[in-house]
Amino acid sequence: MGLLDLSRELMRRCDALGAISEERGQLTRTFASPAMRRANKLVGFWMREAGLVVREDAAFNLLGRWKSKKRGAKTLLLGSHLDTVRNAGKYDGPLGVLTAIAAAKLLREQGVELPFHLEVVGFSDEEGVRYHTTYLGSRALAGTLSAADLAHVAEKQIIKARRRRREFLGYAEVHIEQGPVLEAKNLPIAVVTAIAGQSRLQVEFQGTPGHAGTVPMNSRQDALAGAAEFILTVESVAAGRSGTVATVGKLTVAHGASNVIPGHVLLTLDVRDQKDSHSLAAVRTLHAKAKAIAKRRGLKLTWTPVQQAAAVPCDPNLTQVFSKCITQRGLEVLKLPSGAGHDAVALSEICPVAMLFVRCQGGVSHNPAESIKTADVAPAIGVLADFMQALAVRYA
């Protein structure tokens, strides 16, 4: 099968996978849900069709293995995640898994023998929608989950997915850019230099629930009004710090009703920067501002860090191999940092990591309007296959 046929097939597979959801009328697949099991079943079929030996590990990660004949071979891990955010697009995650399957299929059909085992992985929980902590599947595989990480996870057995630390020679991931640069430069793919760090927190404002019709405005402890003031503060603090982004993505009003003054509000806070010192400074500033708002409004503030993921540089050697493969295909090498988090962050704890970005329309992602072009998938599959062959020369 040539590159264009493989790309067309991949696009059809993204459509089929995009129809597997736990929510009617929109694409949502969260950790360990029945929809995720159905997705693993379908992708597992495609892995087998490419000649890979398929299994699901204890963390519900889907793994397709192409065993090398070389004794004592290490393993190259390629893939991305199969879970999604709510009301997601169909390429964030699946593109990376399906590109890896296509590249493996291309090399196997060419009769290539690799001096390393190849494993294609579909991680089970990169987005962290279910437990608000990201990289659950990849951290389980990397063996870096702490007892604290597992405290709120029902599926304790995921810790058994842990692999040997020295097993992998590297991890590479193909992912949509989720930004506008490739489109602006009119390039199909780019190589990733680093992945932003992220701080995920839970913030609660507790006031006094009351009757909307009888409590005078100057004697209210309105938790939602306090949260609203904080949310606008998050926006203005981040807007004032170049390179820092901050988002309140989820807001829950307890016992919400139109005629009740909100007494308890829970919100999520996501703060990122390519420099950890910058995002940590922004979190400290926002904590101080939240305290001041709570004090002035007579609210109780509960500030709970949920997860701190450090910024991760991609491995210069693997990145150089990707750059060479891009050049050999006659394409310009563009190097981009990633503002989005990826499973490569978790894998970087146990092996070198590298990433390839693929252009997506308008840079739109975490949105059903997410879209890519078949013509851009072809060079991604080709470069990934070339990457594997370049490493085969190095590890022969």
Query: In the range 330-349, which residues lie near ligand HGY by CB under 6 A?
Result: 340-341
- Which CB atom, from 191 or from 223, has the smaller least distance to Mn ion? 191
Among positions 57, 127, 173, 315, the unique one binding ligand HGY when judged by CB under 6 A? 127
Give the shortest CB-199-to-Mn ion separation in angstroms. Answer: 17
Residue 370 interacting with ligand HGY (CB under 6 A): no
Helix (H, G, I), strand (E, B) or coil at 62: strand
- Which CB atom, from 26 or from 327, has the smaller least distance to ligand HGY? 26
Give the shortest CB-135-to-ligand HGY separation in angstroms. Answer: 8
Distance, CA of 158 to CA of 177 (rounded, Å)? 29
Distance, CA of 216 to CA of 223 (rounded, Å)? 15
With beta carbons less than 8 A apart as the criterion, state whether 74 and 167 touch.
yes
Give the shortest CB-341-to-ligand HGY separation in angstroms. Answer: 4
Helix (H, G, I), strand (E, B) or coil at 387: helix
Residue 57 interacting with Mn ion (CB under 5 A): no
Give the shortest CB-82-to-Mn ion separation in angstroms. Answer: 10
Distance, CA of 263 to CA of 206 (rounded, Å)? 6
Residue 134 interacting with ligand HGY (CB under 6 A): yes
Decide which of Mn ion, ligand HGY, none touches 182; Cβ closer than 5 to 8 Å per partner kind: none
Among positions 9, 83, 92, 204, the unique one binding Mn ion when judged by CB under 5 A? 92
Residue 126 interacting with ligand HGY (CB under 6 A): yes
Distance, CA of 25 to CA of 63 (rounded, Å)? 29
Binding window for Mn ion (CB under 5 A); candidates: 89-97, 236-244, 319-327, 354-362:
89-97
Distance, CA of 66 to CA of 31 (rounded, Å)? 26
Q: Judged by CB under 5 A, how many residues of this single chain contact Mn ion?
A: 2
- Which CB atom, from 134 or from 221, has the smaller least distance to ligand HGY? 134
Binding window for ligand HGY (CB under 6 A); candidates: 28-36, 63-71, 126-134, 166-174:
126-134
- Which CB atom, from 136 or from 261, has the smaller least distance to ligand HGY? 136
Q: Quick one: tokens of 387?
A: 């990457």
Distance, CA of 45 to CA of 38 (rounded, Å)? 11
Binding window for Mn ion (CB under 5 A); candidates: 26-34, 90-98, 300-308, 376-384:
90-98
With beta carbons less than 8 A apart as the criterion, state whether 22 and 34 touch.
yes
Consecutive H or E run containing 347: helix 343-347
- Which CB atom, from 126 or from 149, has the smaller least distance to ligand HGY? 126
Distance, CA of 82 to CA of 84 (rounded, Å)? 7
Give the shortest CB-28-to-ligand HGY separation in angstroms. Answer: 14
Residue 125 interacting with Mn ion (CB under 5 A): no
In the chain, DSSP assigns E strands to 53-56, 62-66, 75-81, 117-123, 168-176, 189-195, 197-206, 210-211, 245-247, 251-253, 260-261, 264-273, 300-309, 312-313, 335-338, 353-358
- Which CB atom, from 113 or from 235, has the smaller least distance to ligand HGY? 235
Beta-carbon contacts of 86 under 8 Å, excluding residues fewer than 6 positions away, are 23, 26, 28, 129
Binding window for Mn ion (CB under 5 A); candidates: 38-46, 87-95, 135-143, 204-212:
87-95
- Which CB atom, from 155 or from 173, has the smaller least distance to Mn ion? 173
Q: Is the dihedral of CA 243, 191, 361, 126 positive or negative?
A: negative
Q: Judged by CB under 6 A, how many residues of this single chain contact ligand HGY?
A: 5
Q: Quick one: tokens of 367?
A: 């949105």
Which residues here bind ligand HGY, judged by CB under 6 A? 126-127, 134, 340-341
Task: Tell me which residues touch Mn ion (CB under 5 A).
Answer: 92-93
